[in-house]
Amino acid sequence: MSKLITKDNKLINASYSLGIPEQRIIFLAIVEARAQKQMIDARGVLQIHASSYQEQFKVEKHTSYNALKSAVTGLFEAYFEYDDIHEKTGKPAKHVVRWVQKATYIDTAGMIELQFTDAVIPLITRLSEQYTEYDLKQVSELQSEYAIRLYELMMQWKSVGKTNKIALDDLRSKLGVQPEQYKAMNNFKARVIDLAIKQINDFTDVAADYIQHKTGKAITGFTFTFKQKKAPEQLATATNKNRDNATPDLFHNMTDDQISTFSKRLAALPELGSNSPLGASTEQFAAMIADDLKDADKQKKYHKHLAKLGFKVAKSKVK
């Protein structure tokens, strides 16, 4: 059964530094929060068991216990930063947010209890229209905290297949690379970028690469490109040429032609403009919306906007 990780794009683009155990426990807590949404909305306590950590990340029992124990202090002290527009003033604002307001380790029970801070809860319970989602199994085998963060950044651009250009300093910050770490570009590429790309290619569902951007001779930014790896069942589906572009798919009741038309019109709506990833063109935003319109659940957040644009479900052909 899939375990979906859902994060608001503000959190995806945030700057923070978390070790592997801390990131993995955040993942398990997000899965638990989705399963107990009413509880988490009421400042509920989330329980993470060593057995769940051991099973999900394929580690030894003692490793899972040590991970939970060490992560309690790490998570309580950890925070993240993200930029946004202040609602009341309309001015740029930088938010500094702690992950948890309480963390408890119960050694003899092999578990920890977490309470996310109030500011974190809406960023992980899919309350925003602008979020990124992926299956936990895709990052379960990654052994680099940089690989996990880079995979998340790429998933924000899943429907496009490449990120926007990310300035070097911004990339270091998003990946959690400390200012004193890997100052030389050859070290940064070898220990952070190349290592992350290799792990992503070896253990996730995408094949990734990157493009270097230079100012003079100095590397000043990166663009990451990636393609979905095709599973055997996907290959079989790809060979099916019986789809009729004029006939609605009963799963989401939109034809391919309608998706193409309305994704572009939705991308142009002022009220959806804030949902566009930073640096994305209108065409890239439209492609991301088109990908959402193919998914029954994700399409729901556009229903009122589609109605405003006059969308009507096409009638199925009678055979």
| Range from 109-118, 175-184, 287-296 carrying the lowest mean pLDDT | 287-296
Q: Are residues 176 and 283 in the same domain?
A: no
The answer to whether residue 318 sits within a structural domain is no
Q: For 25-77, how does the pLDDT look when each residue is reduced to its tens digit (9 = 90+)?
A: 999 998 888 776 655 655 678 999 999 999 999 999 999 999 999 999 999 99
Is the pLDDT at 4 greater than 60, yes or no? yes
Is the pLDDT at 203 greater than 80, yes or no? yes
Q: Are residues 110 and 148 in the same domain?
A: no
Q: Are residues 36 and 121 in the same domain?
A: yes
Confidence of residue 129 (pLDDT cuts 50, 70, 90): low
Total number of domains constituting the chain: 3
Is the pLDDT at 196 greater than 90, yes or no? yes
The answer to whether residue 52 sits within a structural domain is yes
Confidence of residue 279 (pLDDT cuts 50, 70, 90): low
* Mean pLDDT, the chain, integer: 84
| Range from 81-90, 170-179, 225-234 carrying the lowest mean pLDDT | 225-234
Domain that holds residue 267: 237-308
Is the pLDDT at 319 greater than 50, yes or no? no
Average pLDDT in the 103-112 region? Answer: 93
The answer to whether residue 104 sits within a structural domain is yes
Is the pLDDT at 240 greater than 70, yes or no? no
The answer to whether residue 14 sits within a structural domain is yes
What is the structure's pLDDT at 294?
Answer: 82
The answer to whether residue 76 sits within a structural domain is yes
Instruction: Look up the CATH number of the domain holding residue 45.
Output: 1.10.10.10
Six token digits for residue 200: 């992503």
The answer to whether residue 223 sits within a structural domain is yes
The answer to whether residue 313 sits within a structural domain is no
The three-state (H, E, C) secondary structure of the chain, written as one string = CCCEEEEEHHHHCCECCCCHHHHHHHHHHHHHHHHCHHHHHCCCCEEEEHHHHHHHHCCCHHHHHHHHHHHHHHHHHCEEEEEEECCCCCCEEEEEEECEEEEEEEHHHCEEEEEECCCCHHHHCCCCCCEEEEEHHHCCCCCCHHHHHHHHHHHCCCCCCECCCEEHHHHHHHHCCCCCCCCCHHHHHHHHHHHHHHHHHHHCCEEEEEEEEEECCEEEEEEEEEEECCCHHHHHHHCCCCCCCCCCECCCCECHHHHHHHHHHHHCCHHHHHHCCCCCCHHHHHHHHHHHHCCHHHHHHHHHHHHHCCCCCCCCCCC
What is the structure's pLDDT at 239?
Answer: 43
Q: Are residues 128 and 64 in the same domain?
A: yes
What is the structure's pLDDT at 246?
Answer: 46
Is the pLDDT at 296 greater than 50, yes or no? yes
- Answer with the residue of higher pLDDT: 194 or 84: 194
Q: For 143-189, how does the pLDDT look when each residue is reduced to its tens digit (9 = 90+)?
A: 999 999 999 999 999 888 999 999 999 999 999 999 999 999 999 99
- Answer with the residue of higher pLDDT: 239 or 94: 94
Q: For 241-264, how does the pLDDT look when each residue is reduced to its tens digit (9 = 90+)?
A: 444 444 444 446 678 778 888 888
The answer to whether residue 155 sits within a structural domain is yes
Confidence of residue 288 (pLDDT cuts 50, 70, 90): confident
What is the structure's pLDDT at 52?
Answer: 94
Average pLDDT in the 226-238 region? Answer: 65
What is the structure's pLDDT at 297?
Answer: 74
Is the pLDDT at 238 greater than 50, yes or no? no
